[in-house]
C-alpha cells in the first residue's frame, strides 16, 4: 500500500513537471502574435530580419543589406551649423551613406533562415514587452512601449517571481529584435541576476567564445551610485543629441528619421532591478539628481526612442509622484493591496493568491481602470546552476552566434565590483590582471600611434567605474590618448601614500613597454619614484639630484628647441651656420634620425624623454632660478616641452602648493583626493561621496568624456605598496627642506 501511494505521488510530481509552463514552450509561440497583415504593414521597410523580409529573400527579391546607424553625435557635429532644413537633410544623407558612419550588415550570410524564428520585428514604432501568455490562452500578447506608454514600472513581493519575469521580458526582447534594433542597458543592485547577461562562455566546435548578449550595451552590477548616475546621464546626453538632430532635420520622432533615410536606428531601454535601492543608497543630492535625470529621460523618451523599465519589491520612498506619473505601463506580480493599488491603480495583484501566487502578472497601460487589466501567465526560465546550462544561457548563445556570423560586434561596458582585476598577475596564476590586459592593448594601439602625429601613446586606465564612451580599437577597456602639444604634462594628486603609489605604478607599467622609444629620468632618487628601479622592465637613464637636475632638463630642452627650429626652416645644411658650433653635430644627427618616409621631421621618431618627479615643491622653488641668464623658464619648458619630446610626470598632494603658472603646464590631471581645492583647481566637480579607491581623470582643454571626468576603480594590490609606499612616506616629511637647499 505504501509503495502504491509513493508511486502515485511520483506520477503526480512527474505530471506537474510536465505541465510547467516553460520558456522553451513559450519561445516557439513568439511570432504567433504577429499577424500577416501587421507584419506586411509594419515590417515592409525591411529594417530587420522580419517575416516579410524572410519571405522576400526566399523568393529572391529582398535586399539583404541593412544600414545600421550609430548614435547621432557624429551627424550632429556636421549639421549643427546648417540653418536650412533641406541643406541639413542633404548633408545627413551623404553622411549616412559613408561606410565609416553606418555599419552594413548583410544577412545573406545567415544559413537556414527559414528555420529561424529570431529577430523578426522592428522597433521603428515601439518595443513590444511580452511578459507571457494571457491567462486562459496559449499565445503571447504584447504590451507596447511606444508613443502612448513610453516607460514601464514593475513590482511584486518577495517570492512572487519578479526576477524570472524580468528574464522572460529581456530574453523575449533578444529573440524578437535584432541588436541593431534595440540596445539594452541593465542596472542590478543585487549584483547577481542581471550580470548573467555579460559572463556566459560557450564552445562551438573546437573554438571557445565569450557569450554576452549582443543587444546589451551596459551592465551595472554594482551599488556604486556614481556609476549608475553616469549610466543615466550618458543616456540623457544621447537622447538630447538625437532630439537636436531630429529638430535640425525637421522630424518629430524616431520613426520619421528611420523612414526618411532607410536606416536602422536602435531604440534604447534601461532596465533597473530593485530600483528602490537607488534611493536607499543615494545621498540626498544624488536622489535629487536621480529624479531630475528620470524626469528629463521621460520627457524626451517618446520622440527619441528611449524607454525605462524599473522593477522593485517596495515602492515606498522611491520615485516622486510627479515623476511616477510618466510610467504609464504598469506591471505587477502578486503583491500587497497597497502596492497593487499604487502600481496598477487597482487591487488586482493582491487577488493573485493560491495557485496564482507565483508566476502570474497583471498589466495595465490605461491609467488604472480594472477594465483594462491584462492577466498574464509567466513562463519559467529554467536554469541549471551546477553545469551552467538553461534557457538564459541558450538565448545568450543563440544571439551571440548569430551576431558573430553576421560580423555584428560592439563593446559591452560591464562593471562588477567583484570582478575588479589586480594590476599584477600572481606567479603561476591564470587570473586576469591589468598587466595582462596591457599586452593586448599595446599591440592594438601601435598602428594608431604610428600614423597619428598628434598622439604619442595611449594610457590604459583599466576598468571604468563610471561609464564613458571611447573610440578605441578592439578593446572596451578605458584609456586616454597621450597627446603631443602645449602643456601636455601629467599631474597626479593623491592624499595617501597608497593612492600615489598606485598612480606611479599604473603609469610605470606602461612606460616600461616603451623602453626603445623613451628615456626615463628619476628626479631626486630618495623619493618614492625610486621604487621604479625595482619595477621589472622599467629602465632608468639616470637618477637626478640637486646638482644636475637643472643642467639635464634645460640642456635637453635647449637642444631639442634647436632641432625644432632647424626642422621648421629650409632643410639645408647651410642653416646649421645659424646654430652654436657646439650644437651643430648633435642637431644634424637628431634631425636626420627624425625624418620620416615623407621627408617630414617628427619628434616621435626620436626617443622621448620623461622626468618622474615626486614632490611639487621643486618646480615651484625653481621657478625663480630658471629663466635667468638667458635660460628658458620652467613655465616655458612646461608649456613647450611636450612639443619637442619632453614630458613631466609630477606626483604630490595639494595643487595649492604649486604656483598657477606651473599648474597650467599640466593638462592631464589624475586625482585620488578628498581635497576639494584639488578638484576646483583642476576644473573638476568635487565628489561629495568620496571613495579612496576611485581614480578621477581630466584632460584640460580637451573634450574628453564630454566634460565628465572619467572614474576608474583602484585594483587591489599589496605588491605596489611594498614597492613604492615606504619611500613615499619618508619623502613626504623632508620634501620642503630638501628643495630649500637646492642652489
Contact 307, 152 (CB under 8 A): yes
Return the closest-CA partner of residue 531 out of 380, 721, 697, 291.
Answer: 721
Cα–Cα distance, 717 to 421 (Å, whole number): 9
Cα–Cα distance, 733 to 738 (Å, whole number): 10
Return the closest-CA partner of residue 108 out of 68, 67, 62.
Answer: 62
Contact 310, 327 (CB under 8 A): yes
Helix (H, G, I), strand (E, B) or coil at 280: helix
Residue 66: which H helix or E strand, with range?
A: strand 65-68
- List, as one string, the DSSP characters of 362-416: EEE-STT-GGG-EEEEPPB--EETTTTEEHHHHHHHHHHHHHHHHT-----EEEE
Q: From residue 283, give the alpha-carbon distance in Å to each of 232, 243, 286, 650, 669.
A: 16, 31, 5, 34, 27
**Average pLDDT per run of 10 along the chain, which is 743 residues long?**
54 51 81 50 41 42 75 87 90 88 79 61 91 83 90 90 92 92 88 75 68 82 74 86 94 92 92 86 81 88 93 73 84 91 90 88 88 92 75 87 81 59 53 68 78 84 52 52 90 81 83 87 64 76 75 82 72 61 71 72 84 72 59 85 91 82 87 84 69 68 43 49 47 42 34
Q: From residue 470, give the alpha-carbon distance in Å to each of 74, 200, 412, 480, 674.
A: 13, 24, 12, 9, 27
Grid cell listed for 645: 619630446
Which residues are within 8 A (CB) of 144 and not within 5 positions of it... i.e. 6 or more apart?
126, 127, 128, 129, 365
Q: Kindly state the greatest CA–CA separation across the chain.
A: 116
Task: Return the pLDDT at 174.
Answer: 93
* pTM: predicted TM-score of the whole model, two decimal places: 0.65
CA distance between the termini of the chain? 104
Residue keyed to cell 621648421: 568
- Please give the angle made by the CA atoms of 726, 727 and 733, to the nearest 5 degrees: 100
- Please state the three-class secondary structure of 333-352 as a single string: CCCCHHHHHHHHCCCHHHHC
Residue 309 main-chain phi, psi, to 5 deg? -130, 110
Task: Return the pLDDT at 442.
Answer: 79
User: How many distinct helices (H) and strands (E) make up the chain?
Assistant: 24, 28
- 452 exposed, middle or buried (CB, 10 Å; 0-12, 13-18, 19+)? middle
Contact 43, 52 (CB under 8 A): yes
Amino acid at each position: 500500500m505504501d509503495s502504491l501511494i509513493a508511486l502515485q505521488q511520483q506520477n503526480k510530481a512527474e505530471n506537474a513537471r510536465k505541465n510547467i509552463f516553460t520558456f522553451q514552450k513559450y519561445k516557439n509561440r513568439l511570432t504567433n502574435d504577429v499577424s500577416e497583415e501587421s507584419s506586411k504593414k509594419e515590417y515592409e521597410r525591411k529594417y530587420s530580419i522580419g517575416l516579410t523580409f524572410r519571405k522576400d529573400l526566399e523568393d529572391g527579391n529582398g535586399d539583404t543589406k541593412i544600414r545600421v546607424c550609430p548614435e547621432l553625435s557624429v551627424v550632429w557635429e556636421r549639421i549643427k551649423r546648417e540653418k536650412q532644413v533641406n541643406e541639413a537633410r542633404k548633408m545627413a544623407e551623404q553622411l549616412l551613406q559613408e561606410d565609416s558612419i553606418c555599419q552594413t550588415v548583410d544577412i545573406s550570410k545567415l544559413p537556414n533562415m527559414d528555420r529561424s524564428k529570431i529577430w523578426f520585428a522592428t522597433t521603428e514604432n515601439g518595443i513590444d514587452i511580452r511578459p507571457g501568455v494571457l491567462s486562459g490562452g496559449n499565445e503571447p500578447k504584447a504590451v507596447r512601449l511606444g508613443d502612448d506608454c513610453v516607460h514601464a514600472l514593475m513590482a511584486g513581493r518577495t517570492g512572487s517571481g519578479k526576477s524570472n519575469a524580468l528574464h522572460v521580458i529581456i530574453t523575449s526582447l533578444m529573440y524578437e529584435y535584432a541588436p541593431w534594433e534595440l540596445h539594452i542597458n541593465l542596472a542590478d543592485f543585487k549584483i547577481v541576476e542581471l550580470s548573467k547577461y555579460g559572463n556566459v562562455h560557450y564552445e562551438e566546435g573546437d573554438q571557445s567564445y565569450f557569450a554576452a548578449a549582443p543587444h546589451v550595451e551596459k551592465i551595472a552590477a554594482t551599488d556604486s551610485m556614481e556609476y549608475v548616475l553616469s549610466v543615466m546621464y550618458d543616456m540623457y546626453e544621447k537622447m538630447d543629441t538625437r532630439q537636436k538632430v531630429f529638430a535640425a532635420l525637421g522630424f518629430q520622432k524616431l520613426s520619421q528619421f528611420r523612414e526618411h533615410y532607410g536606416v536602422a536606428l536602435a531604440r534604447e531601454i534601461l532596465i533597473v532591478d530593485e530600483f528602490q535601492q537607488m534611493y536607499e543608497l543615494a545621498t540626498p543630492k544624488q536622489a535629487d539628481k536621480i529624479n531630475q535625470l528620470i524626469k528629463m529621460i521621460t520627457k524626451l523618451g517618446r520622440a527619441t526612442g528611449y524607454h525605462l523599465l524599473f522593477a522593485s519589491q517596495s515602492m515606498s520612498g522611491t520615485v516622486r509622484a510627479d515623476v511616477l506619473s510618466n510610467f504609464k505601463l504598469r506591471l505587477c506580480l502578486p503583491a500587497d493591496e497597497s502596492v497593487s493599488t499604487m502600481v496598477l491603480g487597482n487591487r488586482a495583484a493582491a487577488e493573485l493568491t493560491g495557485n496564482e501566487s507565483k508566476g502570474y502578472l497583471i498589466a495595465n497601460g490605461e491609467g488604472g481602470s480594472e477594465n483594462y487589466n491584462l492577466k498574464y501567465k509567466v513562463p519559467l526560465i529554467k536554469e541549471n546552476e551546477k553545469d551552467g546550462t538553461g534557457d538564459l544561457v541558450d538565448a545568450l548563445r543563440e544571439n551571440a552566434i548569430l551576431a558573430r556570423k553576421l560580423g555584428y560586434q560592439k563593446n559591452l561596458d560591464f562593471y562588477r565590483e567583484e570582478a575588479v582585476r589586480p594590476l599584477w598577475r600572481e606567479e603561476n596564476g591564470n587570473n586576469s590582471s591589468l598587466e595582462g590586459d596591457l599586452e593586448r592593448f599595446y599591440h592594438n594601439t601601435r598602428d594608431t600611434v604610428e600614423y597619428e602625429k598628434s598622439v604619442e601613446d595611449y594610457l590604459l586606465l583599466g576598468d571604468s567605474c563610471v561609464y564613458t564612451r571611447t573610440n578605441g580599437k578592439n578593446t572596451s577597456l578605458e584609456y586616454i590618448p597621450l597627446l603631443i602639444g602645449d602643456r601636455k604634462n601629467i599631474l597626479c594628486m593623491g592624499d595617501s601614500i597608497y593612492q600615489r603609489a598606485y598612480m606611479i605604478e599604473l603609469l610605470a607599467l606602461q612606460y616600461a613597454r616603451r623602453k626603445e622609444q623613451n628615456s626615463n629620468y628619476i628626479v631626486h632618487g630618495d623619493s618614492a619614484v625610486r621604487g621604479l628601479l625595482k619595477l621589472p622592465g622599467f629602465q632608468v637613464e639616470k637618477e637626478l639630484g640637486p646638482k644636475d637636475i637643472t643642467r639635464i632638463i634645460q640642456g635637453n630642452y635647449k637642444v631639442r628647441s634647436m632641432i625644432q627650429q632647424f626642422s621648421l626652416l629650409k632643410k639645408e645644411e647651410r642653416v646649421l651656420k645659424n646654430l652654436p658650433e657646439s650644437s651643430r653635430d648633435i642637431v644634424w644627427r637628431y634631425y636626420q634620425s627624425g625624418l620620416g618616409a615623407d621627408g617630414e621631421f617628427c619628434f616621435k621618431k626620436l626617443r622621448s624623454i620623461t622626468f618622474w618627479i615626486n614632490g611639487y615643491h621643486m618646480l615651484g622653488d625653481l621657478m625663480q632660478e630658471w629663466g635667468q641668464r638667458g635660460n628658458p623658464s620652467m613655465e616655458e619648458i612646461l608649456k613647450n616641452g611636450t612639443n619637442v619630446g619632453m614630458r613631466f610626470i609630477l606626483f604630490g598632494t595639494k595643487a595649492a602648493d604649486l604656483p598657477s603658472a606651473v599648474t597650467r603646464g599640466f593638462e592631464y590631471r589624475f586625482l585620488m583626493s578628498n581635497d576639494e581645492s584639488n578638484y576646483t583647481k583642476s576644473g573638476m566637480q568635487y565628489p561629495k561621496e568620496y571613495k579612496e579607491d576611485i581614480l578621477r581623470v581630466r584632460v584640460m582643454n580637451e573634450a574628453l568624456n564630454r566634460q565628465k571626468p572619467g572614474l576608474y576603480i583602484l585594483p587591489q594590490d599589496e605588491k605596489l605598496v611594498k614597492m613604492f609606499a615606504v619611500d613615499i612616506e619618508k619623502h613626504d616629511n623632508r620634501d620642503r627642506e630638501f628643495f630649500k637647499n637646492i642652489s
